[in-house]
Amino acid sequence: MSIIIIEQKHIEQDDLKSLYDDVEWYAYTKDLNQLQQALIQSLYVVSAWEHRKLIGLTRVVGDGLTIVYVQDILVLNAYQNQGIATLMMQHVLEKYKDVRQKVLLTEEAPDVRHFYEKNGFQSCDKGALVAFAKLD
């Protein structure tokens, strides 16, 4: 496997659509211009490529000093469970190692919980923290 990790915010819409649709995140691909602009305006974007094929992406928002929020982390279905998401997450955690608050919101599933816990995240249902979200 010849996968490379790249820090870049400018990714072609066709590549984004293929990745986001593959993982069934259709809400993002309803407006590809908006998705592409969201990446450009993000604090940090790291992507995984095999040759010229986008196979994974992690997007971070926040101030980069006191808080970062992992907004998106996704990998093509055919490439999942091969360590690609972990590799991208390691890039994020290393880049923001001095930031105290690293936050994310995701759906509940055993494999999802395991992934984030092995990367050092703690669920807010296990401790003194509480999380709130307003989704429209």
Model confidence over 23-32: pLDDT tens digits? 999 999 999 9
pTM of the model: 0.84
Is residue 29 a contact partner of residue 20, using CB atoms and an 8 Å limit?
A: yes
The whole-angstrom separation of Cα 66 and Cα 46 is 20
- Report the CATH number that the domain containing residue 34 is assigned in CATH: 3.40.630.30
Q: Residues 54-108: pLDDT tens digits?
A: 999 999 999 999 999 999 999 999 999 999 999 999 999 999 999 998 888 777 6
Residue 38 falls within a domain, yes or no?
Answer: yes
Residue 129 falls within a domain, yes or no?
Answer: no
**How many domains does the chain fold into?**
1
**In what side-by-side order are the strands of the sheet with 67-75?**
3-7, 44-50, 53-62, 67-75, 101-104
Given a cut of 70, is residue 9 above it in pLDDT?
Answer: yes
What's the domain range around 104? Answer: 3-118
State phi, psi for 84 to the nearest 5 degrees. Answer: -70, -45
Residue 124 falls within a domain, yes or no?
Answer: no
Residue 126 falls within a domain, yes or no?
Answer: no
